[in-house]
Amino acid sequence: MTRTGGRRSGAVAVPATGAAGPAGLSPAAEAGAVVDAVLADLPRHRGVVVDSPPGAGKSTLVVRAAGHLAAGGEPLMIIAQTNEQVDDLIVRLAAAHPALRLGRLSAGDYTAPARVTGRAAIGTRLADLGDPDVVIATADKWAWVGDRVWPWAIVDEAYQMRSDKLLRIAGLFERALFVGDPGQLDPFSVVDGDRWAGLSWDPLQSAVAVLLRHNPDLPVHRLPVSWRLPASAAPLVSEAFYPFTGFRAGTGPEERRMGFATGGMRTAYDRALEEAAASGWALYELPDRHTVRTDAEAVRAVAVLATRLLQRSPVTVSERGEHPVTAERVAVGAAHRDQVAAIRAAGLPAGVTVDTANRLQGREYDVTIVLHPLSGRRDATAFHLESGRLCVLTSRHRHACVVVARAGIPELLDAHPSADAVRLGVPVKFPDGWEANQAVLARLAEHRVPAAPPH
Amino acid sequence: MSTLSALARLRALREGRAQRLATVRHCHLSDRPMVLIPLRLAGEAAAPLAAMAGTDPDHPRLLVVPQPRDRDLRFAFTAELAEVVLPYVEGLQKATETVERRGAEPYERCVDAPQLLVPNPAGVTFVQLLGRSTRFRRAEGPYAVHPSVPVLGRWLTFFGRRAQYPGSVLLAAATDLLSLHWATGQSALEDANLASLLGWIDPPPGMSGASAAREAEDPLVWPPAGPATDPGFDAEVLAPAIRAYQEAPGERAAAAVAAAVRSQLEPTWRLMWRAVDLLRALPPGGGAAARWEGDRTAFTAFAAQLAEGAPPQPRRDGAVAAAARLARMERARAVYDAQRAFDDPLVMAGHRLAGEAFTGTVVAAEPDRTEGEGRGRKLRPLLVVRTGDPVRLAAGARLATPARRGQRADVVDVAGGEVTLKIVKGMGRGTTATPGAVPQVGEVVCYAALTDEYQPPAALPAPEETPWTHGGPPPEYVPAEDDAEEDWS
Amino acid sequence: MDRLDRLRGPEPPRPHDARAIAALAANPGCARRAVLDAAGVDKDAVATHLGFPAPFGRSPFAITRGDAFEALVKEGGGAELLRLLRELLGLPLPLAGYTDLADVGGNPSAHLRHSHTRRLIDRAARDAGEAATLYDHPLLRLEIAGYHSYLEPDVVAFQLGGRFHIVEIKSFAVVDGQAEPDKVAAAARQAAVYVLALSTLLAELGHDPSRVSHEIVLVCPENFANRPAATLVDVRRELAVLRRQLARMTRVGAIVEPLPDTLTFDLGRDDGGVPRRPVAELRSAVREVGARYAPDCLNTCDLCFFCREEAAEAGATDLLGRQVRDELGGVATVAEALALADGSLAPDDDRAEIARLLRLADRLYAEVS
């Protein structure tokens, strides 16, 4: 599936089903064909962009492309956005290509985690690394490296990268593969960037947006299959957040199952968890009320759900076999940092990840529990409505997602004033946050479990 | 908008007057600011109608365009405005001081800088547009203008761009400066009306802020502070006066237009100086002076550029210039936020309420604690602070403290109203803490996840080396002939 | 729709122009506004009679300037406009017809003018080979809450690559490629109304409605000159919002239903057109329908001063803006928030949390100021 950067929104939506895809291809064959097309395009273009929806095998592609490029004998640089992403890539590259010599550039205060040591040469300067086949670092670190030009670069999480960062490092490579998820959160700034609105090189736009505006003829591929999202989630996430570039689940409805080894007590919490296990989604709905952001009742509900989930000894069955869901495979997501702090303070089982949408980007879990960004709000703001935020929160799970929210969000959306400013020359962003929120809510309403009234 | 400022607005409603949002002044205020109140002809982007300007509250200078659609009259206006602004700006370039720098050449900096005060953010935008519409003009050739016009244009552009930096006050809107220090009993939207904002902050004796603010909304009592004029005034007073001038241009008709706009400008002129007095009465915060130094440096540098004959500022930033400016603006934002909190316990209280800072009493201290062995042994004092604040900091967060500005501490643990900190910077060299550097048991301390530390950004390519991802090297800027000829209808 | 007629009184419904329709999205949560708009009540007249005239006026200079610019753009049978379109869309448009649809002879009714527009658009859509034509003063129609509103876009351009484009002429300046975002947004919302009306017309005539481009042509003066420049503006988002709001208006019945049968906003005009209805009576009538005041109303709604006063009397936290209101969780009145803050009011379970926060804010405020 290829399209040209200049005609992005014109692409036709693809039915997002778990069954056989276009031309009856199996998901694996379809995804494989795209990867082959990407690799084939690499020598033909100065840049190649690959859009990867949640869990569509972005890292696998990066690892494969790295092996492919390194096999050509030319040195390769890889640019990631965070230290954790760099470490993850090293682990995966080392496993896939044990013969490749890897180097990791890092800042002075970086301490390598155990999983990385021994797998890559680590240093603060290029000279410290010897002469590895592949050098990996964050974009921030690369910005301090000069005096060398690599024939090839891979830019990972390129939609999360602000274009001013790309400007600082683009001189380091001749050609590049840009990989990322266009549906996640856009980069942002704490200052007002209106003065650059409409410029093709607006520093606040993502690296990919700027790249494609200047090079509209670069090929843009799309990974068509989500290996993470179950068949219950892929169609919704695809329709709500990727309206013009659909994808499908790599597994069928029966291939992912979840159950509990320990019986429940028919509480509302248990019923919500059971609904999620059975259908992939649950909306644990608290009574309609306007609250402060750190709504204590909602925070408690999130914490109890996480605790209860692990108490019930959840077990998943998937193409990877049968596994218990451990705390490390559970994440709790919220919109604001103060909500995250409140949830942490409410007491969660050790090992459960709690974080904001921004920090959950690119991560994967078996089960997620989400505090809905609009829960308890009286008015929706642009922040709350940003589609990327909800997309991240509802697309981290392999099996089930439980959303905690107060009733009344449909009414709030209905009353939302639409007076967004319009800047000339700035491409309209899709999907619209309002529409995406509606789509997700409509689906969640089918899996609603009202909270028990407080006694 | 924090709960603290929300509460301040509620209190303002109860008390009938604005409540303080700051205990110190967070902006430098020049001893001799220039107040500039521009008016624009309705329906036009930047067609000046009039302006009141000056540094002396008792002697405003009134500039009027008796027929704003006449381009010669408009340029006469800008030349006249240049006569007011340029001597003020140039006069301040004379006295300089030598600034010594560690590891770099000393440089000269003007001891003072101009400060242009306009009523509201729309006034700032108008200054930017006026700068844009005049800086490309030429003193020779077709459509020649007075030589001072393009110079004024460059200065106004400089002021306009500088105003986008958080914390810079070379050009500032009075409503912004006032709102930074006071919370009213009305909405932020209504605070953009200078008269109504001042009605809350300083209501006339015997009147509540609410009634003063309502009265201020009547354009007959308090004409709008510009640049937009009151449509009623336009229809009933201004339009007939301009028509009369058009039919019979002359001193008398011009004077009639001037009298009309004077009636619209004078009330705002008085409000502007009241705003200056109110702000001046606040004790200055330390960071304001530091940021003013930055403003003075920028002013000095621009004056030098201009003296060297630099071309007018380009219309839009190129890719490299945009990224560089963004980095500077983001740094200014971080510094501004941190400095205000460190200067002002009331601003810090907002951060405490949000859980990003806390104040408490030291209940345990290990000033001489070290980590590591042998040559790698480092001084890492530990501190336990008991606090009633709702701390929402995670382990590992890097904190600073207003009482010891160079100090940095990492959060080790937060539990049961006690925060354990490890001091990692600013406690002395070697393995013994400098006396007084580590707070003692019983001392009240405040730590916050804010920093004004300078971390230089990585280098950007030279503009002529703009990479292919960003459109490649831009064509060299040549001031085009048509820049100067741009019709000014 | 009898019910809405009764609410309005004997006056004819106030026609919705594109601007009014676009404004429906400004505060959709306000029941008062929804009812008054759906019934076609003249809100400005109501506000004036209540003693709270709307604070909106347009300067004669702005009107003159707008008219002059529009005339300039359309000059010479749209020659200038054609040049702009040619450049903007990159189309070879050697020739273009220019049809003034206002020109139907005599003093035509809106209905007649609309039929004329309808006929010509139908012909244009049928005859794909027809050369580009600029239609000036077309009259389109859109159904709003059961009534037809007639709408007059600046120009409709056909056919540029087989598609219809709405041309919106505005006199605000585009300086170095940038214009005031609020003004562009208003123009986009307004143009979206025309796009919808024209696609509806095409659909009615059995043509493909998607032949109306969702990219409208915005023509504005460039920089500080009078010279027009054209920009394409994608109005898909505005269209989605508009469709939503129009669908919503058909549901206004649910709000109207519980209102007393006798309720009316009739101004009781006498033969001379002077409103005679007792103000107190009209005030109670308007107050029968709840408002959702927010300071943004001051920019958009004729009734804003009336509703603000009402909010002030009630001591509503709405007065301070949406952000403050949100910050205060569920606390609706100033008195309650202050009482929670100083501890004089013991919170119920629902308010315990915001009370704790306000108490803390109160303590910190007292401690440091």
Of C177, C184, C349, the CB nearest to A422: C184
- Is residue B187 helix, strand or coil? coil
Compare C310 and C5 and report the one with higher pLDDT.
Answer: C310
A355 touches chain B (CB under 8 A): no
Closest CA to C173 of B45, B408, A419: B45
Residues of A in contact with C184 (CB under 8 A): 421-424
Tens digits of per-residue pLDDT, C163-197?
889 999 999 999 999 999 999 999 999 999 999 99
Interface of B with A in 279-338 (CB under 8 A): 316-320, 322-323, 326-327, 329-330, 332-334
DSSP A228-284: SS-TTTHHHHHHHH-TTS--EESS-TTT-EEEESS-----HHHHHHHHHHHHSEEEE
- How far is residue B319's CA from residue A166's CA, in Å, rounded to a whole number? 11
Of A167, A176, A200, the CB nearest to B320: A167
Residues of A in contact with C222 (CB under 8 A): none
- Read off the pLDDT of each residue in A23-38 and give the average, rounded to a whole number: 89
C240 touches chain A (CB under 8 A): yes
Of A170, A190, A192, the CB nearest to B470: A170
- Is C28 close to A416, i.e. CB distance below 8 A? yes
Of C184, C237, C352, the CB nearest to A424: C184
Q: Which residue of B has its CA nearest to C173?
A: B45
Is residue A132's pLDDT more than 80?
yes
On average, the pLDDT of chain A sits at: 90
Strands, DSSP E only, in A31-99?
Answer: 47-51, 76-80
- Is A199 close to B316, i.e. CB distance below 8 A? yes
| Reported confidence tier of residue A1, pLDDT bands at 50, 70, 90 | very low
How many other C-beta atoms are found inside a 10 Å radius of the C-beta of residue C70?
A: 17
- How far is residue A322's CA from residue B240's CA, in Å, rounded to a whole number? 86
Compare B1 and A65 and report the one with higher pLDDT.
Answer: A65
Q: Which residue of A has its CA nearest to B465?
A: A171
**What single-letter amino acid sits at A156?**
D
A413 touches chain B (CB under 8 A): no
How many other C-beta atoms are found inside a 10 Å radius of the C-beta of residue A122?
A: 19
Residues of C in contact with A291 (CB under 8 A): 329-330, 353-354
A382 touches chain C (CB under 8 A): no
Q: Which of A231-245, A336-350, C112-126 has the lowest mean pLDDT?
A: C112-126
Residues of A in contact with B333 (CB under 8 A): 190-191
Is residue A10's pLDDT more than 50?
no
Ranges of residues in chain B whose predicted pLDDT is under 50: 488-489
Q: Which alpha helices (H) appear in chain C, and where do they start and end?
A: 2-8, 18-22, 31-38, 43-49, 60-89, 110-126, 181-204, 236-249, 253-256, 279-287, 297-300, 304-314, 322-327, 334-342, 352-368
On average, the pLDDT of chain B sits at: 92
- How far is residue B343's CA from residue B291's CA, in Å, rounded to a whole number? 13
Let me know: does A419 contact C296? Beta carbons within 8 Å.
yes
C320 touches chain A (CB under 8 A): no
A197 touches chain C (CB under 8 A): yes
Of A417, A424, A454, the CB nearest to C25: A417
Interface of B with A in 470-489 (CB under 8 A): 470-472
- How far is residue C136's CA from residue C77's CA, in Å, rounded to a whole number? 9
Q: Which alpha helices (H) appear in B33-169, and where do they start and end?
A: 71-91, 121-134, 148-162
Of B317, B329, B467, the CB nearest to A170: B467
Is residue C40's pLDDT more than 90?
no
Is residue C90's pLDDT more than 90?
no
Of C60, C226, C320, the CB nearest to B187: C320
Produce one character per residue of B88-117: b if its CB has 16 or more CB atoms within 10 Å, e if not.
Answer: bbeebbeeeeeeeeeeeeeeebbebbbbbb
CA distance C222 to chain B (A): 10
In chain A the domains, ranked by start, together with CATH numbers, are 2-229 (3.40.50.300), 256-450 (3.40.50)
- Is B326 close to A204, i.e. CB distance below 8 A? yes
Tens digits of per-residue pLDDT, C71-80?
999 888 888 8
A345 touches chain C (CB under 8 A): no
Please state, for a pLDDT cut of 90, what percent of chain C lies above it.
50
**What single-letter amino acid sits at B192?**
A
- Is B326 close to A203, i.e. CB distance below 8 A? yes
Tens digits of per-residue pLDDT, A370-409?
999 999 998 888 888 999 999 999 999 999 999 999 999 9
Of A144, A146, A193, the CB nearest to B326: A193
Residue B1 has what pLDDT?
55
| Reported confidence tier of residue A3, pLDDT bands at 50, 70, 90 | very low
Let me know: does A332 contact A354? Beta carbons within 8 Å.
yes
Residue with tokens 């520093």: A203
Dihedral of CA A302/A304/A307/A309: which sign? negative
Q: Which residues contact A345 (CB under 8 A, 6 or more apart)?
A: B392
Of B323, B394, B471, the CB nearest to A203: B323
C31 touches chain A (CB under 8 A): no
Q: Which residue of A has its CA nearest to B462?
A: A168
Q: Which residue of C has its CA nearest to A427?
A: C234
- How far is residue A219's CA from residue A196's CA, in Å, rounded to a whole number? 26
- Is A454 close to C349, i.e. CB distance below 8 A? yes
Please state, for a pLDDT cut of 90, what percent of chain A lies above it.
74
Residue C106 has what pLDDT?
63
Residue with tokens 């122009």: C17
Dihedral of CA A446/A447/A453/A454: which sign? negative
Q: Which residues contact B6 (CB under 8 A, 6 or more apart)?
A: C320, C323, C324, C327, C328, C361
Give long-range contacts, CB 8 A cutoff, 24+ apart: C176-180. C176/B132, C176/B315, C176/B316, C176/C223, C177/A198, C177/A199, C177/A424, C177/A425, C177/B316, C178/A197, C178/A198, C178/A423, C178/A424, C178/A425, C179/A424, C179/C220
Closest CA to B115 of B30, B37, B55, B26: B30
DSSP B302-331: HHHHHHTTPPPPPSS--HHHHHHHHHHHHH
Residue C250 has phi, psi (to 5 degrees) of -70, -15
Is residue A2's pLDDT more than 50?
no
Of B166, B332, B470, the CB nearest to A167: B470
Closest CA to A134 of A89, A179, A88, A85: A89
| Reported confidence tier of residue C248, pLDDT bands at 50, 70, 90 | confident
B397 touches chain A (CB under 8 A): no
Tell which of A418, A430, A434 to mutate to test the C interface (max C CBs under 10 Å). Answer: A418
Is residue A9's pLDDT more than 50?
no
Let me know: does A411 contact C254? Beta carbons within 8 Å.
no
Of C62, C295, C360, the CB nearest to B42: C62
- Is C320 close to B6, i.e. CB distance below 8 A? yes
CA distance A433 to chain C (A): 10
- Is A166 close to B470, i.e. CB distance below 8 A? yes
Is residue A6's pLDDT more than 50?
no
CB–CB contacts below 8 A, A to C: 96
A261 touches chain C (CB under 8 A): no
Subunits in contact with chain B (3 or more CB pairs closer than 8 Å): A, C
Let me know: does C156 contact C166? Beta carbons within 8 Å.
yes
- Is A295 close to C353, i.e. CB distance below 8 A? yes
| Reported confidence tier of residue C105, pLDDT bands at 50, 70, 90 | low
Distances in whole angstroms, Cα of residue B427 to Cα of each of B334, B339, B343, B367: 24, 21, 21, 9
User: Domain ranges in chain B?
Assistant: 3-313, 358-448
CATH architecture of B358-448: Beta Barrel (2.40)
Residue A15 has what pLDDT?
39
A193 touches chain C (CB under 8 A): no
**Which run of H or E residues covers position A64?**
helix A58-71
- Is B326 close to A207, i.e. CB distance below 8 A? no
Let me know: does C148 contact C141? Beta carbons within 8 Å.
yes
Residues of C in contact with B45 (CB under 8 A): 172-173, 175, 221, 224
| Reported confidence tier of residue C103, pLDDT bands at 50, 70, 90 | low
Distances in whole angstroms, Cα of residue B171 to Cα of each of A59, B35, B334: 49, 10, 20
Residue C129 has what pLDDT?
63
| Reported confidence tier of residue C251, pLDDT bands at 50, 70, 90 | confident
Residues of A in contact with B316 (CB under 8 A): 196, 199
